[in-house]
Chain A
Amino acid sequence: MADSSHEISVDNAIGAANSSQSPSARALSRVEPPQSESGLFSGESVLNILKLIFTGAPLADVLTIIARLVEAQGKGMFCTIWLLDKEGGYVHCATAPSLPGFITHWGRTPVGPDGACCGTAVYRREPVYSTDILSDPLWDSYRHLVAPYGVRAVWARPLFSSEGKALGTFAILYRNVGSPSATDLQLIENASHIVGIAIERHLNEKELRRSEAFLAEAQRLSVTGSFSWRVDTDEITWSEELYRIFEFDRDAPVTLELIGSRVHPEDIPLLNDMIARARGIGTDFEYEHRLQMPDRSVKHVHLVGHGRRDRDGRLVYIGAAQDVTEHRLSEETLGKVRSELAHMARVTSLGALTASIAHEVNQPLSGIVTNASTCLRMLATDPPNVDGARDTARRTIRDGNRLSDVITRLRALFSKKETTFESLDLNEAIREVIALSLSELHRGRVILRTELADNLPLVTGDRVQLQQVVLNLLRNASDAMSSVNDRPRHIVITTEREEGDRVRLTVQDEGVGLDPQAMDRLFEAFYTTKNEGMGMGLSISRSIIERHHGRLWAAPNDGPGATFSFSIPCGLASATGARSLGVIATPAAKDAKSVQGNP
């Protein structure tokens, strides 16, 4: 039977339903007449009622059906069901199918010690049976309301939720004086149980709708939408807010194609990459990309997806997408200002630096030139002033030496301070660099993948210097792809153990690649292909790696881009066998073990 149908077949059925009732109640008019006198609903009718309840039939309809079923169990019974209001002050009659006009006639009764049977049962939290309402004082104020229907006895039982919360009252109004029989009691128990389920379910649904409304409001306020994506069927469900962010028609079914049509053309590779990887490994993902709206405006969306497998092992992503446009725009402005400042600072300090170098050099140079001029003039006189010329030449030599001292001083000033070697986890050092560069990489639309070896041994080195190298290689890789728009901007960072107790790091990009003509000059100081670069990065990087007795090299990829790698020995002890070893200016350097124990 289709779940969406409210049509049921109840074997212990009831009389004709009022034609003015709802479709679900009307459906009951087709069921068969009553037969059973067991006081129990048959299994099938219970099942059918439950089906009605859980397919969301209106509560009033469900209650009416139950009431009719109960009435069908015995002659002279009128069934009424009362619901407790939110404040708990009254019970309202929700259904009285065989008492015409009853609900308007007697809509509600207060919860209290003398609230007829229906209000009193809730108040006492126990059944209240009035065997004769004509004599029962509980009915003093209400007798006139039921008497016209020829009612003499009323059997009321309070209804409770599974947590014991009062929900209302189930009451049977009976034509004759008397107490309920065992069968009647069984029937009341039975019906009350199902009615309780129906009411509780109704209240839960109301609560759910309310919290859904809250959620929608929260999503609107935080410009965050949620989605689910079933990977095998590409079935996608979206929250309201996500429709708003993407500015899609609320009725349009969401497909990956539709989403793709909104994604900024430059970020399509990013999207494709995300989809491909999400389909593949099924791990959580986090992406940021731009949308291009119909009015050509651009939005930035931050996407987080959590992948899990359903019972059949099929991959489903649950995720959230936040509109971070405002955030990103202000960050971009800030970033621009920051990089301009950095550039200014660099230029300024470089200018100041060259000026002070020029001054330091020009002073003694001036003496040299003056002395040489004097010397020539002394020799040009007739007779030549040889003694004077000799003295002047000596002073020239002395000024030359002085100049040499100046240059030595300058070198000392700009040469790197002493290296601090310690035992370190290269992977961890790399992760720190990545954490620092992540927003920059995001801005550059770079997709970074790390393949860091699990079994990487510790290396002995200068943490900060090695991080500078990694940062430099990462920046270069990112810069090399800044003009790439026809393919994803991938960077892969890999670490691996090498033979001979060494570790290797590679940074692979898919950028513009290397100019074969310029391969030799790559690592020279002041060689650069960048407009803004000073050309110091790789030269400094290489000197750092050499200080670690390692090697830094570059190679073109088979496909687009280039790969830069360095390989360093794990411990300095193992490096003592290496070629072209310089003396390391660290006291502990002779013994790598003591370096590890004494950072």
Chain B
Amino acid sequence: MVRRSLVSVVDDDESVRESLPDLLRELGFSAHAFSSAEEFLTSDYIDQTRCLILDIAMPGMTGPDLQRELKLRRKEIPIVFITAHRDATVRPQVLEQGAVECLFKPFSDTALLNALNAALRVS
């Protein structure tokens, strides 16, 4: 059996942490959710993570903060940002910093799948 790629979800919103891993599993990935960037950084999952689904606005370390931190640590994990703020200026910024995609909540499963496929192609 093909080993499923691990997709890690980092979001302070509980409903996302509860719902998104289930969908990811339905889409054929293995999934793990973290409630903060700090929690993800201190976990053992960094190296196994093939793709990171990352909320932008979080208390403490934000999504872009984590993106920078991972770059510094030379962890080349493809990132798909998700955000509830429909702010047009944020998307180009994070894409420029190397993110694969930036999805606005709520997003469809197809949009998510397309983004994940693109991310995994990158890796």
Cβ–Cβ contact A355 & B87, under 8 A: yes
Chain B positions within 8 Å of A, measured between CB atoms, are 13, 15-16, 18-20, 22-23, 26-27, 57, 82, 84-87, 104-109
* 5 additional contacts (CB under 8 A) given A366-B82, A367-B15, A399-B15: A358-B84, A363-B13, A373-B109, A395-B18, A402-B15
A-B contact count (CB 8 A): 73
Look across to chain B and name the residue whose beta carbon is closest to the beta carbon of A396.
B19
Cβ–Cβ contact B86 & A358, under 8 A: yes
Complex Cα distance, B107 from A369, in Å, reads: 7
A-B contact pairs, 16 of them (CB 8 A): A359-B84, A362-B84, A362-B106, A363-B15, A363-B16, A365-B106, A366-B15, A366-B19, A370-B109, A374-B22, A374-B23, A374-B109, A377-B26, A378-B26, A392-B19, A395-B15
**Which secondary structure dominates chain A's binding surface?**
helix
Closest CB-CB distance, A300 to chain B, in whole Å? 45
Look across to chain B and name the residue whose beta carbon is closest to the beta carbon of A354.
B86
A364 with B23: in contact, given A358-B84, A369-B108, A377-B109 (CB under 8 Å)? no
Interface residues of A in 341-369 (CB under 8 A from B): 355, 358-359, 362-369
Cβ–Cβ contact B19 & A374, under 8 A: yes
Cβ–Cβ contact A370 & B85, under 8 A: no
Look across to chain B and name the residue whose beta carbon is closest to the beta carbon of A373.
B109
Cβ–Cβ contact A362 & B105, under 8 A: yes
Cβ–Cβ contact B27 & A377, under 8 A: yes
Residues of A within 8 A of B82 (CB): 366
Complex Cα distance, B19 from A368, in Å, reads: 8
Cβ–Cβ contact B26 & A374, under 8 A: yes
Choose from B15, B27, B85 the contact partner of A359 (Cβ within 8 Å): B85
Q: Does A371 contact B (CB under 8 A)?
A: yes
**What are the 3 closest A-B residue pairs judged by CB atoms, nearest first?**
A367-B15, A366-B105, A373-B109
Chain A positions within 8 Å of B, measured between CB atoms, are 355, 358-359, 362-371, 373-374, 377-378, 388, 392, 395, 399, 402
Closest CB-CB distance, B8 to chain A, in whole Å? 16
A369 with B106: in contact, given A358-B86, A399-B15 (CB under 8 Å)? yes
Residues of A within 8 A of B105 (CB): 362-363, 365-366
Residues of A within 8 A of B26 (CB): 374, 377-378
Complex Cα distance, B68 from A127, in Å, reads: 113
Residues of B within 8 A of A365 (CB): 105-106
Closest CB-CB distance, B33 to chain A, in whole Å? 12
Residues of A within 8 A of B19 (CB): 366-367, 370-371, 374, 392, 395, 399
Residues of B within 8 A of A378 (CB): 26
Complex Cα distance, B34 from A3, in Å, reads: 109
Cβ–Cβ contact B85 & A368, under 8 A: no
Residues of A within 8 A of B109 (CB): 370, 373-374, 377
Choose from A362, A363, A373, A399 the contact partner of B23 (Cβ within 8 Å): A373
Closest CB-CB distance, A540 to chain B, in whole Å? 28
Most buried by A among B26, B82, B85, B108: B26
Residues of A within 8 A of B86 (CB): 355, 358, 362
A364 with B15: in contact, given A369-B108, A374-B23, A377-B26 (CB under 8 Å)? yes
